[in-house]
């Protein structure tokens, strides 16, 4: 038995390959976000109304909603990467909160303006179904990309990590959507955006629960 053990140790010493350490979390988050944002910028430039959208930046509710969604989306992705690492502060889960607040405030003010100043009256609750499909269609692949980045370190905080990944992906999709229809959101639009973001986040949480079984 002693000889077998020594032989095993010698074989492991000669054949075992060193484990490749993970890159720094902020670097991994930065590389992922750079790839996602570059792809989204290219898509907006080719298929959207980026120039028209930029003309609305001076309109405070529009820019507050847009910037809030972008900040919350980026913060959620960074927080997901950080929380996937043992020993990181659980307070990272609150990182998207400031951006979320800005997004909701901007969207709420714009909805009020649409009703009070423009006399908006919803024709149907399904008028923004294309927006719903867009957020899910863009957000889901982004969430999958975050999962693939983090799958090697998902032994802890799985629910929080995947929830943040889903939230961040959905909010980045909502940000891109603002460049696809360059106008302020009406109540049905914004309600649809909120529901789509919440649904993708819930789906990510459900996925984490299934993965734990």
| Mean pLDDT (whole number) for 119-138 | 82
Question: What 3 state SS string does the chain have?
Answer: CHHHHHHHHHHHHHHCCCCCCCCCHHHHHHHHHHHHHHHHHHHHHHHCCHHHHHHCCCCHHHHHHHHHHHHHHHHHHHHHHHHCCCCCCHHHHHCCHHHHHHHHHHHHHHHHHHHHCCCCCCCCCCCCHHHHHHHHHHHHHHHHHHHHHHHHHCCCCHHHHHHHHHHHHHHHHHHHHCCCCCCCCCHHHHHHHHHHHHHHHHHHHHHHHHHHC
User: What confidence tens digit (pLDDT) does each residue in 132-167 have?
Assistant: 999 999 999 999 888 888 877 666 778 899 999 999
Q: Percent of the chain, pLDDT > 70?
A: 83
d(CA 208, CA 213): 9
Neighbours of 97 (CB within 10 A): 12
Asked if 162 and 204 touch (Cβ cutoff 8 Å), the reply is: yes
pTM over 0.85: no
User: What confidence tens digit (pLDDT) does each residue in 94-106 have?
Assistant: 999 999 999 999 9
pLDDT at 1: 43
Angle at 178 between CA 175 and CA 184, to 5 degrees: 125
Query: What single DSSP character describes residue 49?
Result: -
Segments in 16-59 forming alpha helices (H): 25-47, 50-55
pLDDT at 4: 62
* Average pLDDT along the chain: 83
| Mean pLDDT (whole number) for 110-136 | 81
Is 17 a residue whose pLDDT tops 60?
no
pLDDT at 12: 54
pLDDT at 98: 97
| Location of structure tokens 């983090």 | 150
């Amino acid at each position: 038995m002693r000889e077998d053990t020594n032989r095993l140790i010698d074989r492991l010493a000669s054949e075992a390959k060193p484990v490749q350490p993970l890159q720094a979390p902020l670097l991994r988050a930065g590389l992922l976000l750079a790839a996602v944002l570059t792809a989204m910028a290219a898509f907006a430039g080719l298929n959207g109304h980026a120039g028209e959208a930029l003309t609305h930046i001076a309109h405070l509710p529009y820019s507050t909603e847009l910037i809030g969604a972008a900040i919350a989306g980026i913060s959620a992705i960074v927080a997901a990467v950080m929380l996937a690492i043992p020993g990181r502060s659980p307070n990272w889960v609150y990182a998207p909160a400031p951006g979320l607040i800005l997004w909701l405030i901007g969207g709420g003010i714009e909805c009020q303006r649409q009703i009070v100043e423009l006399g908006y009256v919803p024709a149907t609750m399904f008028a923004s179904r294309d927006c719903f499909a867009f957020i899910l269609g863009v957000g889901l692949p982004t969430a999958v990309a975050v999962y693939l980045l983090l799958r090697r370190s998902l032994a802890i905080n799985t629910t929080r990590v995947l929830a943040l990944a889903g939230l961040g992906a959905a909010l980045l999709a909502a940000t891109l959507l603002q460049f696809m229809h360059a106008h302020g959101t009406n109540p049905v639009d914004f309600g649809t955006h909120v529901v789509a973001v919440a649904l993708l986040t819930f789906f990510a949480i459900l996925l984490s629960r299934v993965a734990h079984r």
